[in-house]
Amino acid sequence: MAEAPLLQRVPTDRFGHLLFVVARMFALAGGLLVLALVLMTLASIGGRALLSMPVQGDYELIQLGTAVGVASFLPLTQLRGGHVIVDFFTAKSRPAVREWLDAAGAVLVGLAGALIAWRMTHGAISLFEANDETTILGVPTWYAVALMVPSFALLALAGFYTAWLHAKRVLLGRDAQ
């Protein structure tokens, strides 16, 4: 049986509250971006079907925009405990054991987010230096890569914060419900 989300409400500590608010703003911005991409796709399909005039470069814009949008959802998903958890082997373990395993998993998410942010920073710089652009519209590809860096940095912070919350719950004797 799946655990309840770790953060069912906004954290009360200063750092957690700020992290949650910023992650929610990132997710909202990502949602608006995905909505804009959906509307552009509809306009392109309608333009192609009715007027033989699709939106030029729609595939390029979808590719770049979707990557940025999805990356922006990850920090809030981590804070809300929304990532998929396979708990087949640990379902009957003591709550403290599950908390420690969740803490270890959250540390791994934090490390992965930090590593990805670091490498994407270098990737964006490389794409900038290479003057890499999309084929049809000529949009510099480093824009999208650079826009994803803050999302992965925020994911790293969210991972380390949720690891701390899991560990704190065990250390203070508050087993998972």
Do the Cβ atoms of 90 and 97 come closer than 8 Å?
yes
Q: Percentage of residues in the chain with pLDDT exceeding 70? A: 93
Distance in angstroms (rounded) separating the CA atoms of residues 133 and 135: 6
- What are the residue boundaries of the structural domains of the chain, listed by start? 14-171
pTM of the model: 0.88
Distance in angstroms (rounded) separating the CA atoms of residues 163 and 102: 7
Q: Which two tokens stand for residue 41?
A: 């796709």
Residue 103 clears pLDDT 50, i.e. is over it: yes
What values do phi and psi take at 55, rounded to 5? -70, 120
Q: What is the mean pLDDT of residues 23-51?
A: 97
Q: Which residues contact 48 (CB under 8 A, 6 or more apart)?
A: 54
Q: What is the pLDDT of residue 9?
A: 67
CB atoms within 10 A of CB 168: 12
Residue 177 clears pLDDT 50, i.e. is over it: no
